[in-house]
Amino acid sequence: MKTAIAETIRQMPGYQPALDRNRAVTPLRGSPRSGATLTYRYDDSGETVTVPNLWRNQSIAMQVSELRRLSIHLDSQARSVLNCPMASRSAEQNATCVQAYQRRAHVYRLLAARLVLLGEKAALDTLAQMEQLLVKVA
């Protein structure tokens, strides 16, 4: 199934495996949360390209927005556990769960702020380094 979808995407007009990050682009269609592809227009030539919806093809603005959304969600999860502790867990386990949600939300907010401060090129380099570290850990 996944192979058929990937093949369909590769056959789309203007398909490229990755954006040329040395050229300015304007996002036309796609969201980091939905869809298998993103569509951009290169500003210098007007060429429209379709790329896989992977972190390296998403704009930093998209990634910052998603990190902020995730941090809000995690804060909400922490509040939910605080307001209505899980009966199957001890008070200590619930507290640990809340701390984990809050810690992860804090990390996402810090990462979003760092990406904004770094700018597009440096942020992409940072994300690439993070991906390499995650691969080593896994």
pLDDT band at 138 (very low <50, low <70, confident <90, very high): very low
Between the CA atoms of 101, 105, 107 and 110, what dihedral angle is there, to the nearest 10 degrees?
A: -160
pLDDT band at 9 (very low <50, low <70, confident <90, very high): low
pLDDT of 105 strictly over 90: yes
For residues 49-71, give the mean pLDDT. 88
3-state class (DSSP) for residue 54? coil
pLDDT of 29 strictly over 50: yes
Pairing verdict, β 25-31 and 34-42:
antiparallel
Residue with tokens 């902020």: 68
The Cα 35–Cα 129 span in angstroms is: 25
- Does the pTM surpass 0.75? The reply is no
Decide if 112 contacts 66 (C-beta within 8 A).
Answer: no
Query: For the chain, which residues make up each domain, given as ranges?
Result: 1-58, 59-138
103: nearest Cα among 79, 73, 74, 137: 74
pLDDT band at 48 (very low <50, low <70, confident <90, very high): very high
